[in-house]
Structure 1
Amino acid sequence: METENLIVTTKDNIKIVRLNKPKKKNAIDYNMYVRMAEILKDAAIDEDISIVVLTGTGDFYCSGNDLSANDVPMKTLFAAVVEFVKTLITFPKLLIALVNGPAIGIAVTTLALCDFVFTSENAYFCTPFSKLNIVAEGASSITFPKLLGERTALKMLIMDYKMPAKEALECGLISFLYKDEEFHEKAWDCISEISKLPMDSVLGTKKLIRRVDMEALLRATELEINEIEKISLSRSKL
């Protein structure tokens, strides 16, 4: 059963998960985190699915967390976020992000957990954690320094730097960059070609690559959320 905020479709061996809350720029709430984790877990054991594609409706990929929509305790929300991120980290199939527009916060950090990231020229990437008085999340305390280099990672995670799509391509945050008018056609052409590759080979290579950092990424996710909880608790005492 799907909610109106998530649209899930299947095309051949590809499951497509579309964030569908354009009025809030596809911000993610508690129920969406829970459902997306469930979808990924189901896809992980579905022999007919080799690829999951994450994308958004409208002109935004995702604007991060939708705290206004959450009617659960903050600790419950944090647990759902951690479960979602861990599911991304351990996902054994190919995970592809189709970034149709700007990405903010956790929508950016989780891109580093995807295997391929296709991006439109109108996208930009921003992680305003310091402005929100939280810390890096989505295992970005490990993935960002590794992908971007420590200096750029600090600029992104601390200084609220808005990275344009071209720079994201140059530093390795994204895999492919297309002009807006050709984005969907070219991205799906490439995804289609990937889907036809021998999946035993493809997924075997992914497993070998990801095994090196798996435990560290899972541990980082826990440590990051612990720091966020500490900050939230100290704020509530003021």
Structure 2
Amino acid sequence: MTSYKQKHAGGNQMPFETIKYEVADQILTITLNRPDKLNAFNPTMQHELIEAFDKADADDNVRAIIVTGEGRAFCAGADLSSGADTFDRDARRGPVRRNADGSADYSDPQVRDGGGQVTLRIFKCLKPVIAAVNGPAVGIGVTMQLAMDIRIASEAARFGFVFSQRGIVPEAASSWFLPRIVGISQALEWCYTGRVFPAQEALEGKLVSRVVPADQLLDTARTLAKEIAAKTAPVSVALIRQMMWRMMGADDPMEAHKIDSRGIYERGRSDDVKEGVSSFLEKRPAQFKNKVSADMPPYFPWWDEREYK
């Protein structure tokens, strides 16, 4: 376990119990840090991951995020130390609110899936997110990755949407994310069978973009993150991330055209665009000044946030 002193060294780390939060070269590395439990997901990790993404979005020095696991696993899924009651909300959190007829009031926040709260937060993130999958990633260990932009796997990685084998259903909003990433047929095959499969099958099924030797995993992820951090405009990247993800649910390309047009208009008048064009013509690296914390365009956000109800 990293000491409090180590976590504060240089002012670029944050104290957490179940994750490490380390910023270097404008890249935040979030490491799931319960190696003795194969980084199993618990409520503390849920809240700390949400807090970490909150901090990352507020920090203009963070240009890209890498998520990986400590030790030999990425995340072995939910912490099953509560045994058969692991997924029983009433047993673990106390009875949820009831309707007059005695049925559960599903609008009670106590009903909400913790993994889904994490992926919804990642979905809203304004920085590129890269999963560096170093070992087994099962259940929430794989579904949390679906809201991340790019997944790179070690040859030692294993994946499993094991919910059907545990008598439950997929969580973390994965029924929205997974078919969009890999297609409906592949998504159903993996979720129907619940089998654990190797990195090569994940690559062939489009779940990951590449598979690399274990000792090259973090270097590969960092090289990609550094390319983003060094060469791109932060506000443009933040807008691109939300444009791509949110247009996956649009019902007509006109919706994309509307947002593209607003973006071209607003960014076309910005100091960043002047710098981008000038640096290209002058054959020098661009120095983009606009900040995500202060310079997002007035049309952002262009969507209405959904409520849990």
- The partner residue of 1:138 within 148, 172, 179 is 172
Aligned length: 221
- The partner residue of 1:124 within 144, 155, 158 is 158
Residues 66 and 221, structure 2, Cα contact 8 Å, conserved in 1: no
Structure 2 unmatched ranges of 5 or more = 1-13, 97-109, 252-304
Are 2:204 and 1:204 equivalent residues in the alignment?
no
Cα offset for 1:79? 5.0
Structure 1 unmatched ranges of 5 or more = 224-238
Greater per-residue helix proportion: 1
| Cα distance in 1, alignment partners of residues 16 and 235 from structure 2 | 33
Q: Secondary structure at the match of 1:193?
A: helix
| Cα distance in 1, alignment partners of residues 66 and 193 from structure 2 | 30
Q: Secondary structure at the match of 2:207?
A: coil
- The partner residue of 1:155 within 177, 189, 200 is 189
Cα-to-partner distance string for 1:51-103 (whole Å, 9 max, x where unaligned): 22111001110011114278951775845433222101111211111111110
- The partner residue of 1:108 within 127, 142, 152 is 142
Bigger drift between 69-78 and 32-41 goes to: 69-78
| Cα distance in 2, alignment partners of residues 127 and 208 from structure 1 | 28
| Cα distance in 1, alignment partners of residues 77 and 176 from structure 2 | 19
Who is 2:216 aligned against?
182
Who is 1:7 aligned against?
20
Who is 1:228 aligned against?
none
- The partner residue of 1:25 within 38, 41, 46 is 38
Q: Secondary structure at the match of 1:9?
A: strand
TM-score by length of 2: 0.64
| Cα distance in 2, alignment partners of residues 215 and 91 from structure 1 | 19
Cα-to-partner distance string for 1:197-230 (whole Å, 9 max, x where unaligned): 31333322212111224799x97x969xxxxxxx
Cα offset for 1:182? 2.4
| Cα distance in 1, alignment partners of residues 179 and 308 from structure 2 | 18
CA RMSD of aligned residues (A): 2.7
Give the AA of the match of 1:58: G
CA 196–214 in structure 1, closer or farther in 2 if over 3 Å, else same: farther
Q: Secondary structure at the match of 1:173?
A: coil
Who is 2:103 aligned against?
none
| Cα distance in 2, alignment partners of residues 37 and 205 from structure 1 | 22
Give the AA of the match of 2:183: G
Give the AA of the match of 1:25: L
Cα offset for 1:168? 1.3
CA 72–47 in structure 1, closer or farther in 2 if over 3 Å, else same: farther
Give the AA of the match of 2:68: T
Who is 2:289 aligned against?
none
Who is 1:68 aligned against?
81
Residues 18 and 48, structure 2, Cα contact 8 Å, conserved in 1: no
Higher relative contact order (CA 8 A, sep 6+): 1
Bigger drift between 69-78 and 48-57 goes to: 69-78
| Cα distance in 1, alignment partners of residues 220 and 243 from structure 2 | 28
| Cα distance in 2, alignment partners of residues 41 and 19 from structure 1 | 16
Largest Rg, 1 or 2: 2
Cα offset for 1:47? 1.8
Give the AA of the match of 2:44: N
Who is 2:277 aligned against?
none
Give the AA of the match of 1:37: I
Give the AA of the match of 1:98: A
Bigger drift between 205-214 and 16-25 goes to: 205-214
Residues 116 and 175, structure 1, Cα contact 8 Å, conserved in 2: yes
Bigger drift between 15-24 and 142-151 goes to: 142-151
Q: Calculate percent identity across the aligned residue pairs.
A: 30
| Cα distance in 2, alignment partners of residues 186 and 43 from structure 1 | 21
Give the AA of the match of 2:93: P
